[in-house]
Structure 1
């Protein structure tokens, strides 16, 4: 990674926001099942700042690593979360990390997507709220349909026909 990315744009497919939380991991699994059934790409997006990024391996006391090291640490952590999710190997997954605030980063990534998927609660905020501030903003401002996945909400799986129409808007 030569430059720190501040925006990612995708064309079609499912974008899922991931912040490392349990709810984001469930949203990732849900989005991957839908992407598999609809035969579309899955784009996993993590927004970050230095305060939310894991510490890079090059960090040591008295030395602040370059931003690209922080970005690589975020990408490595995101890749590990995707691997831990145990997704169907047939799902075409691309991981993206964006140095930007969560709402703005996910809105930009979702501009060309067929669907944006996020967890109901992320790492921050008040645990008693049913819908997080990021997911609430995305529901109101995204250019594409948004699905908010609650932790522990099983629901029923889509059939292939339902999944296809849910993603491409037929």
Structure 2
């Protein structure tokens, strides 16, 4: 990777909105000769005392599942577009918005979907995308859902 290649960070969580964002980022990178970092953020399971207590999932299992989701979404989307854009995959432990902002600190562009896994249906802009738009040091593209 040369310093002249635009660096694009995209949030991926497996949702249709994040797949649209990855698709957009890959197409953009293809046109400008950039590289893409696809990031999924995961958090350790939170235990709340309630009866009955379900089996506990370990941090390692959560990390592994996040990496599997990321790998699958990147592979499927790259194959669908028949692109050879370099995609670096990054699974990080932490809140999605903060993790994206940290990774995009020195990026040329941050791409997010308008809604992911969370929030409520019908929100115009999800909390992660809103936080990124408000706090990112680089330009942010919020990809609206594709017509389905």
Using structure 1 for the length normalisation, give the TM-score.
0.72
Q: Tell me which residue corresponds to 1:84.
A: 76
> CA 1:68 to 1:116, structure 2 compared with 1: closer, same or farther past 3 Å?
same
Q: Distance in 1 between matches of 2:119 and 2:39?
A: 20
Deviation at 1:51, TM superposition (A): 4.2
For the 8 Å contact 1:115–1:144, the answer to whether it is kept is: yes
- Structure 1 segments of 4 or more deviating over 2 A? 61-65, 67-70, 86-89
Q: Secondary structure at the match of 1:43?
A: strand
Q: Tell me which residue corresponds to 2:22.
A: 28
Q: Distance in 1 between matches of 2:126 and 2:68?
A: 25
CA RMSD, 1 decimal? 2.1
Aligned residue-pair number: 134
Q: Deviations over 1:107-160 (max 9, x none)?
A: 10100110000000111111121111110110010010000000016xxxxxxx
Deviation at 1:63, TM superposition (A): 6.7
* Consecutive unaligned residues in structure 2, runs of 5 or more: 47-53
For the 8 Å contact 1:12–1:112, the answer to whether it is kept is: no
Q: 1:143 aligns with which of 123, 130, 137?
A: 137
Using structure 2 for the length normalisation, give the TM-score.
0.82
Deviation at 1:71, TM superposition (A): 1.6
* Consecutive unaligned residues in structure 1, runs of 5 or more: 1-10, 53-60, 154-170
Q: 2:63 aligns with which of 68, 71, 75?
A: 71
Q: 1:133 aligns with which of 120, 127, 135?
A: 127
